[in-house]
Chain A
Amino acid sequence: MTPHPPSAEDSHQENETLRQENEALRRRLAEAEQGNEALAKGQIDAVVDATHQVPLLLRQAQDALRESEEQFRAMFDLTSVGVAQADPVTGRWLAMNPRMCLITGYSAAELLAMRIPEITHPEDRQRDWDLFQGVVKGEAPEYKLEKRYIRKDGSIAWVNVNMVVLRDAAGKPTRTVATIEDITERRKAAELLRESEERYRHIVEAASEGICSLDAELRITFANGAFARMLSFLPEELLGTPLERYAFPEEFDEFKRHMDVRRRGVAEQYERRLRRKDGKECWCLVSGAPILDLEGRFAGSFKMFTDITGRRRLEEQLRQSQKMEAVGRLAGGVAHDFNNLLTVMFGYSDILLQGLEPGPLHEAMQEVRRAGERAAALTRQLLAFSRKQTLVPEVLDMGDVVSGLSTMVERLIGEEIKVSVVVSPNLGRVKADRGQLEQVVMNLAVNARDAMPKGGSLIFELQNVELDDADTVTHAEIKPGPYVLLAISDTGTGIDAETQNRIFEPFFTTKEAGKGTGLGLSTVHGIVHQSGGSISVYSEPGQGTTFKVYLPRFAGDAAVRRPVSAVRKALPTGSETVLVVEDEAAIRKLTNLILQKAGYTVLLAESPDAAEQIAGSYPGPIHLMLTDVVMPGMRGPELAERLLRLRPDLRVLYMSGYTDNAIAHHRFLDAGTEFLQKPFTPLALMQKIREVLGSSGP
């Protein structure tokens, strides 16, 4: 301090300095107070330690920082997506969370030594890098990409990448940050779903069943090819159309009933017709199931259609043949009784005729006799139809049979119709009854004539055919194998479909009353089937008709037939002893009368038991047993076998209205068995007895 007295100026300056210092002190005080206040309010994060020259974070700030850091760490580490940082220039990995390591299969250390393209799938590499560069250059704020990584084990990981770039204050990219979501499983699931859908679509498309789905208003929302083909539409033509359009109007009620059932949530199966584009029907087995929405409300239905038109046709054929079978059985039973009655009528008629002098009474008796013959012919037809007629099959050349008949056919059908016979070479033989085959040919020829009132041509064709399984589907009762086909074609009026269905039914006729019995074609049907064959008809109205008769081709050697003795005109007589076994009293009585008149000694038995008794007790020789085939208790062949044990020289002659069931199983009596078909005349009986006894008479 200087010893000068203080001047006014000095004093003024001093005052000013003091004022300024005061001011500064006051401000520092205010600031300190304000600092204290901020501290008290917790608004301070750090205090600088002047000694160590480091800032010390206050506890609260430390906690908050640590917490924030931990939260970030946890998010980084625990997040279910991969997080990684990379160098924006080189693409080298700079940091990643454990999830990223899991996704790629590499450890963090391994990844840190790699670049992004190194683990990217080669096919995705260029695109990925272009996008990466685009974001780094600022051309796009971020990028999103589904791409593939090649994992460490070589497998592929599909990932969804989202990337952004971090920049410094100068805008220079410092690092990229990306989230990497593993979508491999999701893609696999989607792929599996797609494959599964494709597989099901393929199955549905390839199915031979028609498949469609309907919405709640019963409009078609899907139809496969098979369903469209059933209706002869294209699948896309069906879409959006109401299913009702493909029902027959007369079945709308039934259609609505089925749909009501579906609305109640019930599935069912039923048979129904669909109406095709051309108006024709297609019979289907329908499986319908309701489709319900999430709330369980009716949302439509799913339907599967199996075409059963073919099956129904077969069923129809089966019903038809069963009906024929039943009618045949009835006819056979009736015919059997008729034959017994006719035998009696013939017998007594002939006896009366022998006793009557020529005159009106003789004429009247002749008429009765002729009526009987017509009745017998009708009965034979019934039996042939019912397949109960006794056939005598022989090995035949069908060409011979048809050629042999052609003269008679020409005479029968008149000059307006040209008849031709075409026989293919090496035609096989058949085993059948000649008389019956002739009946078949004549019957079909007469039918053809009736179909051609103004003339035409009739062609008989014979050829060998092999029927396979497919052919036999349409011939319900026939087995696959070699056949001889006789096709008889006319150029007549043809037959409509309705008539074709019923043409082989007995008593079905299109002819005027009195012109046909309705038995002709049913007889043909019966004969052909009894011979193991089949017959079918093909016809178009106005185009003519072809009947095709298939007979099994015979492979074995021809059986040798016993020579038949010449027919004798005179009523033959005899003196041998004949045992007559017959349960019908009228026939027994008649036979007794005829045989006695002819000089035979007659023993009568009303049953097989009685016959056995007589055979055992009669003292003299018995030359012949004349026996019925079907009798209560024992059948003719069995009785013959027993009696032959007692009397080995006994000859046996069977008589029957039809063969019994046991014989019917073989279809025929063995060739060589002596047999007399009822009804028989006294002459036929006498001739047959002489034929049997002739060679070994007493």
Chain B
Amino acid sequence: MRPKLELLDNRLIDRILGEAFQLIENPGVRVAPYVVELLRAAGARVTDGVAHIPETLARRQLALAPHEFYLYDRNGKAAVHYGGDDVHFDPGSSCLNILDPETQQARPAMAADLVRLVQVAEMLPQFAAQSTAMVCNDVPPEIGDWYRLLLVLWHSEKPVVTGAFSASSLHTLLELLAIENGSREGLRDKPRAVFDVCPSPPLNWSEFASHNLVDLARAGVPAEIVSMPLAGATAPVTLVGSVVQHAAECISGITIHQLAQPGAPIVWGGAPAIFDMRTGKTPMGAIETAMLDVACAEVGKYLGLPTHTYMVAGDGRVIDAQVEMESGMSTVLGALAGINMISGAGMLDFLACHSIEKLVIDAEAIASAQRLIEGIEPRSESLAIAAFAQAGLQGDFLKLKETRALFRKEQHFPSAVIDRGLASCGAAPDIVGRARERVEELLAEYQRPSSLADREQAMLNFAEAEGGRAGLEGLPGISSTASATR
């Protein structure tokens, strides 16, 4: 059996959904003018920018949302399955800062940092997808969103979790993806990216978020709702109250999205957190935050929808025992909850900072969690009798053929980041040192995936033209490698 974590029973989920449906009708949901006609035409009342969505309408649209879909890699191969209890991880996204590899102090992230992170994540099988992990401070802010996507597409072949910074720039990101794919139709058939779209708590689909929902649906590119109730501040203080708000935000978002394009792929996702009543911070490493993550996803799974959440992040400002305790705990809980995409690895300091060293440490926690959800399975007819028949009371199990045949299935072997006393495992006495060595090893092994030269050239032409308009000089993070493809 596969081990599973559940925090809600079906009766409570029904109550949560019942209240969520009530909330989207009354008090309703704030929406942007862009979606008012769409909602009115479907039977919702919209007054003063607030949509009152009847339960019947919302349920009809929920029934249209697909229960599963795939993200594809650079070669058009299905690589990430959103649906069921499949669990995938990707690095956290949109950080402004990075822990400098040398000093381990936070500093603004640059394009070169994002490239390093992408290359390391590319080498780690624990990450099924990449993310547009950092905002590059050496790139003009107005092109920051599509440029970081360009860097990920350029240096990786994995699917990407991304997002636009404005209503209009979404179209630039979609154009870039279409160029990489070969066509708009190709992008719709085999999307490589999923876009995070964030409602503003409580119950507000802003101009930017409303546009993104509708435009993604019409482009046929998957949208991932990232609902962020902060329990006690922008949402009810009880965990279950915040789960209700999360459900109401997701349901209203899916309603708008499915009205724009029935059957378009969408994810029941989020980044909920508690609001620390002493500091006003939103601790991602708090156990209650993890409980919210699990419970919110559980409601989505109950509806049969693909799920996402934000876990594997710690709150301390450096890589230390606190950060890794928090990250490790939530990694295990997220995996046990069967959440389809779990974002957040590599992040610390309340999601304000990324660390490539932490990313490789988190990869070890993820590998352990992946082993955990494989569970304990009988591997032969006899569980132990046959082994004892051979080993007897001398207990020499090490010599048995069965041992040699099965130990690789039974045991996960961590990298040298985890100190198990292996003599050849680097000289660094502490985990940050070992992580740093591992990063260098992975970077040394990394090779940029090849792609069709004409598409790469089209991406470069696009980047140079768009970047030039924003005053970008050269193509940071690409220029050194681009010449080889020309």
Q: Do A and B come from one complex?
A: no
